[in-house]
Amino acid sequence: MKKPLLPLIMVLSLGLYQAKAQDGVSQLLRTAPDDATKLLNAYADPLFKGLGTGINNGWANTAKSKGLLHFELRVSASGTFTPTGDKSFDVTQLGLSNNVRLAPGSPSTSPTFGGNSGATPAKLDLYSNNGNKVDQFTLPGRITPITPAPQVQLTLGLIHNTDVTIRYIPKVKLGSDNIGKLGLIGFGLKHNIMEDIFGGIGGKLVPFDLAIAAGYTRLNYELPLEVRPSSGKVPDASSVGRTDFSDQRLEGHFNGFNLQAIISKKLVFFTPFAAVGYNTTRANVALAGNFPVTNGLATYTVYTDPITIKRNAINAFKVDAGFQLDLAIFKFYASGSLAKYKSVTAGIGLSL
């Protein structure tokens, strides 16, 4: 059976192949909430920052406004590269409790979501409060060193050299339950200030366009999980009646804001541009449902909705450069961004 095109594009764009993401996150949740939060935060750091960078990309590839009621529909995607310093983390520096210890012979450094290929994940031993070893698990390996993010947007020209842009992806299932669901919404404005300064003769007096643009994007992602009790374990007294693990899920909400100044010059059908700006992203990630954690030789404790992470993922200046090709009603775009998390964006559009 053929899969719908948009979900298929998103599966490839997000790079969450098969059940790797689900299995990886599940391994981080074998410990109590405080330790699991520290492990998830460290492991997923490049994912948070990569998605934060990606959703702030691709708003505009030219400073020139479109003109009253002219519109453009575009589909594009960004790929954000994990820098070397964020490809791994030291388990011993996270401040884990004494119940979670590095296994003998295990490396202390473990790959992050965007780590190096072939890097060996750390192994952790889990101890009860009585000092008995009750479990051992391996942290997840890398998923992908490039974090993708999709952009689907419609831009409409308004009066006074201003464009308004709407981004929207309805919440859709990405191929299978193991990959999750994604939705996106955003709003942006761009204003060509060159026309304000020079009026209708701006293009004749100054050989370029200059604009100020701002955009806000919210990306919502949900990943179903399957964290089950270790074989042979039974719930302790505090967990009886809370052993339904069917509704486990990771919920992520990423809010990005991008403000930039853009300069461009149209040369027949080729328009190069450069931009400098500031972008921020707020990540809110939570685990919902009941999660079992081994606490003794024969028992486990159930934690309900155990983790909530709220953090600023991106808060930095960036420089963009790229181009737009105008081929009749079709447009092609490509650009790159320089910041701690470097990224590239490419797409295609239909403009009338």
Q: Write out pLDDT tens, residues 244-273.
A: 999 998 899 999 999 999 999 999 899 999
Q: Which residues contact 191 (CB under 8 A, 6 or more apart)?
A: 65, 160, 161, 162, 163, 211, 212, 213
Domains and CATH numbers, the chain: 5-351 (2.40.128)
Taking only the tens place, the pLDDT of each residue in 21-44 is 566 667 777 788 999 999 999 999
Check residue 16 and report its DSSP letter.
-
Taking only the tens place, the pLDDT of each residue in 282-338 is 999 998 999 998 888 899 999 999 999 999 999 999 999 999 999 989 999 999 999
Q: DSSP letter string over 250-296?
A: EEEEEEEEEEEEEEE--BTTEEEEEEEEEEEEEEEEEEESEEEEE-S
d(CA 233, CA 214): 53
pLDDT at 9 over 50: no
Closest Cα to residue 146, out of 291, 46, 254?
Answer: 46
Q: Which residues on adjacent β-strands are paired with residue 330?
A: 327, 350
Taking only the tens place, the pLDDT of each residue in 182-240 is 899 999 999 999 877 766 555 556 788 999 999 999 999 888 888 888 888 999 999 99
Per-residue pLDDT, 177: 52
Q: Taking the CA of residue 141 as centre, how many other CA atoms within 13 Å lie in the half-sphere pointing to its CB?
A: 7
Q: Give per-residue burial for 71-80: e unless 16+ CB within 10 Å, then b.
A: ebebbbbbbb
Angle between helices 20-28 and 33-43 (to 10 degrees): 140
Per-residue pLDDT, 204: 59
